[in-house]
Amino acid sequence: MALSIQLPDASRTSETSSSVSLELSLDGGFAVPENNAFGNGFRDYNKESERNLSVEEFYRKNHIYQTYEFAKKKREEYGKLDKAEMSLWECCELLNEFIDESDPDLDEPQIQHLLQSAEAIRRDYPDEDWFHLTALTHDLGKVLLHPSFGGEPQWCVVGDTFPLGCAFDESVVHHRFFKDNPDSNNPKYNTKLGVYSENCGLDNVTMSWGHDEYMYMVAKANNTTLPPAALFVIRFHSFYAMHRSGAYQYLMNEEDEKMLKWLHIFNTKYDLYTKSKVLIDVEKVKPYYLSLIEKYFPAKLKW
């Protein structure tokens, strides 16, 4: 299967990026495996296992405590970008200390997931270096878990994301736990549109707070020259209800629809299915990714 899409010129800023026609195939060299690292189907939240029991408990907390007001306060707090100054690669190394409790498919340190997805894209699309770096960067917001950033609990850092300020769609994983979320009983927030208008655009939507939102904010504030498609992937790669189930389309505008093509490429194959017990030699690939970081980001970023 192939997707004919417009490729943003990654050498330009988001304000001045141009487009060239390119045919990108979903049938590149990376072979999608049938099972995850535990021998189960990917994103199988019903499989009885000790891992999935912990995932379920994670989502119980996540769905109860992620409210519209909570996310607004977190965006304001972390939008100051006053936690640290460090390079993108230094952030990658910090993630060596963490395993994502919401992930039913892998229990390896996060730097391995970043490199596994980046290397698979690099193999399939060797000329799209901005896409390689997008994969390396997409989960760096999980640094919120680090004590130097306040040691946030996992329920407000990782996991699937979803809009706040409107009704919770039934396609969101473990939807039943939303019944105990205060917003579910608030008439201001529990209708289809809630505080939004039809086709207002995802830029105007408050998403559940977590690593996606944080890394998106960090990238924009530090003037990355990654193209708009990269920023869209970083911000919405955990928004499975939208890009996998087709929910919340009434909030999307025309620009969101264009960017969604890139997100489908990333999520259909690389973000989820590259998770593996076959680990990447970090030191071997490090020089290549350092060169990409130098190309698209400043030497030191404010976090």
Query: Which positions make up the binding site?
Result: 43, 100-102, 113, 138-139, 142, 159-160, 211, 237-238, 271
Rounded Cα–Cα distance for residues 3 and 85 (Å): 39
Other CB atoms closer than 10 Å to residue 206's CB: what's the count? 19
Rounded Cα–Cα distance for residues 275 and 37 (Å): 7
Contact by Cβ (8 Å): 210, 237: no
- Give the helix/strand (H/E) hosting 3: strand 2-8
Name the DSSP class of 167.
P
Determine the 3-state secondary structure of 302 from DSSP. Answer: strand
Q: What backbone torsions phi and psi does residue 68 show, to the nearest 5 degrees?
A: -60, -45
Residue list, annotated binding site for substrate: 43, 100-102, 142, 159-160, 237-238
* Torsion angle, alpha carbons of 63, 69, 70, 74, to 10: 140
- Give the helix/strand (H/E) hosting 22: strand 19-25
Contact by Cβ (8 Å): 91, 141: no
Which sign, positive or negative, has the C-alpha torsion 243, 140, 203, 128?
A: negative
Contacts of 90 (CB under 8 A, 6+ apart): none
Residue list, annotated binding site for Fe cation: 113, 138-139, 211, 237, 271
Rounded Cα–Cα distance for residues 287 and 20 (Å): 29
